[in-house]
Amino acid sequence: MSLKLDQVGYRYPGTSHGLTDFTLEVQTGELLAVVGPSGSGKSTLLKLVSGLASGYSGTILLHGEDISSKPVHKRDIGVVFQSYALFPHLDVAGNVGYGLKLRGVPAAERARKAKELLELVGMGDAAAKSVDQLSGGQQQRVALARALAIGPKALLLDEPLSALDAGIRAHLRDQIRSLQRRFGATTLLVTHDQEEALTMADRVAVMKDGVLLQVGSPETIYAEPANRAVAEFIGLSNILEAKVRGQDEIDLGWTILHAPTGNRLIGATVQALIRPEHIQADPETSAINRVAGHLAARRYLGPVVRYDFSVPDKAEPILAEGLREARESIAISPDHIRLLDS
């Protein structure tokens, strides 16, 4: 039951906004997280798949079948939005059983199924409650139960947790992930919370301005971002402009570092990506890529310290993170410097 988008193009009428040449496959049972800045087209992607927007070019296949001519309710897609969007005139069980009712499932069977799903999302005793008696987190669990009740071919989650506070969010993350696995649901999860994406997803797709920038495992997206936009969006980083000075040597203006230059030519402009946690505090004087300077700011985060380290001839301090802060010098192992061309 894979979901496959092939060269999908879409424009909101009269605008330049939408999706451009969008190709992506979500494997059967996979949870693929879609991340990107506000306005990058994440919700648009879900609207096209669910049928809430139409008139795109290219093809969208669900389980090998072209969905373009299928009306929304025949697509067998479960959707959960950020705002709870439950039906206020139905009780909790009525909401969960709604899709089954549309499909002609008899009342007794609907009630049984609703009860079963509510148990699964930890809301077993709420079946007869009215929607406005529920907290935000509880409403999202009901919305999830409703989406799963129809045994969907695909599950589309559009920022399902973003309106909730941090504690319940972390708990629901795990719950959604385990239910998604249990149902083997082929899932697109839209979020702008990168931690949510990295922790929940099998793979992460990063988009910007309606274009897919990169898709890969959370580890790949974090450690090997394809370009600057991906690196900036996922995780904290120092992105430092430099020129290739020689084989495995870059000149940043304020220092020269050893870094893997590959087959780039001398003089080529590159961006050196260095994650804060890869900066070593107060290394031995003989350490490779050692840079002297001073501590400019320090933030205690509990398990680690995040700090700014100022170096001579560089206006912006370097952002670093570790068990303790550097006082006099830092070092960056060449293995932890990733050069980007754009």
Ligand X SMILES: Nc1ncnc2c1ncn2[C@@H]1O[C@H](COP(=O)(O)OP(=O)(O)OP(=O)(O)O)[C@@H](O)[C@H]1O
* Shorter beta-carbon distance to Mg ion: residue 52 or 297: 52
Instruction: Pick one of Mg ion, ligand X, none as the site partner of residue 36 (Cβ within 5 to 8 A by kind).
Output: ligand X
Residues that bind ligand X (CB under 6 A): 12, 15, 17, 36, 38-44, 192
* Shorter beta-carbon distance to Mg ion: residue 30 or 159: 159
Pick the binder of Mg ion from 43, 175, 194, 238 (CB under 5 A): 43
**Long-range contacts (CB closer than 8 Å, 24 or more residues apart) made by 224-230:** 224/338, 225/273, 225/338, 225/340, 227/340, 227/341, 227/342, 228/271, 228/273, 228/340, 228/342, 230/206
* Shorter beta-carbon distance to ligand X: residue 4 or 17: 17
- CB 109, min distance to Mg ion, A: 35
Instruction: Pick one of Mg ion, ligand X, none as the site partner of residue 137 (Cβ within 5 to 8 A by kind).
Output: none
- CB 134, min distance to ligand X, A: 24
By beta carbon distance, the residue nearest Mg ion is 43
- CB 168, min distance to Mg ion, A: 21
* Shorter beta-carbon distance to ligand X: residue 175 or 191: 191
- CB 56, min distance to Mg ion, A: 17
Instruction: Pick one of ligand X, Mg ion, none as the site partner of residue 16 (Cβ within 5 to 8 A by kind).
Output: none
* Shorter beta-carbon distance to ligand X: residue 28 or 54: 54
Q: Of the ranges 42-50, 117-125, 252-260, 329-337, which one interacts with Mg ion (CB under 5 A)?
A: 42-50
